[in-house]
Structure 1
């Protein structure tokens, strides 16, 4: 079975990595798809996110990374012949949002299932937005992201100052 794990990954966090690793044990192939989120302003460029994400998942054999710009997630999943779309859920608020997306996607592509994976408690409060904010003000982020992402965030904020 082939699964797609879509997101903006701006940047990829240890919470994302935990979900990807768990999904890699459940499915034959997991494709991490970096997609456009029109409701968010990107911090990293698409190229930077691809590099960081590939480095973060490099040791997971059945995981690959792709990007798709300005395309519906469900259309990307169809094009890749994915059986499943994986989504992470950290809270009740996430669940409600993901449930709505899953129901719409089911109407658009009935052949593709959505699997919601619950975040491990240690990552349930971790979000890319919070990580960027902590890094911006010099806080410690080493427990939330891999070292490559930590270095990239620090460089990026230094460039903006």
Structure 2
């Protein structure tokens, strides 16, 4: 059984993430979506909320998909899950430079697990969770970037924490 791990913060999960999940699920017999924390990011949603969002959004995707949280080195997590591959999405050249460096470091940590890069669909390449949150915080429309359910989650959270930039 080929197991792939797709790690991320998914804060919130976007149409770009969903594209990579759908395609990654075709490459692996079992796809584990690892929802993690990132010390350099300030999440809008708790890890439990993000996991619930990811589970809801991936519920209709064909294949064996598991959503779990982790707070460890990616390669330790991947090994615990029995993964033979890490699935990563690429949007632009800047992503490639960062991901290339991470893949090299991960290979040094565990050379039995391959990193597989999937190019984001051209129409989804500009989407980033960070930008989705920023747009929402300033009252912009985010429906093109996330599902209607995620849009509702983000709008509800923004109304709770308050918009930026006035009225």
TM-score range relative to shorter protein: over 0.9
Give the distance between the partners of 2:143 and 2:66, measured in 1 at CA: 24
User: 1:99-143 CA distances to partner (integer Å, 9 max, x unpaired)?
Assistant: 000000001011000001111111110000111111112222112
RMSD: 0.8
Report whether the alignment pairs 1:152 with 2:146. Answer: no
TM-superposed CA distance for 1:37, in Å, is 1.1
Give the distance between the partners of 1:42 and 1:133, measured in 2 at CA: 12
* Runs of 4 or more above 6 Å deviation: none
Q: Which residue is 1:67 aligned to?
A: 69
Give the distance between the partners of 1:46 and 1:2, measured in 2 at CA: 23
Give the distance between the partners of 1:120 and 1:139, measured in 2 at CA: 23
TM score, norm. by length of structure 2: 0.93
Q: Which residue is 1:120 aligned to?
A: 121
Q: Which residue is 1:45 aligned to?
A: 46
Asked if structure 2 preserves the Cα contact closer than 8 Å seen for 1:32 and 1:65, the reply is yes
Give the distance between the partners of 2:19 and 2:64, measured in 1 at CA: 15
Q: Which residue is 1:83 aligned to?
A: 84
Q: Which ranges in structure 1 are unaligned for 5 or more consecutive residues?
A: none
Give the distance between the partners of 1:52 and 1:159, measured in 2 at CA: 18
Report how many aligned residue pairs link the two structures.
160
TM score, norm. by length of structure 1: 0.97
TM-superposed CA distance for 1:5, in Å, is 0.1
Asked if structure 2 preserves the Cα contact closer than 8 Å seen for 1:35 and 1:73, the reply is no
TM-superposed CA distance for 1:97, in Å, is 0.2
TM-superposed CA distance for 1:43, in Å, is 1.2
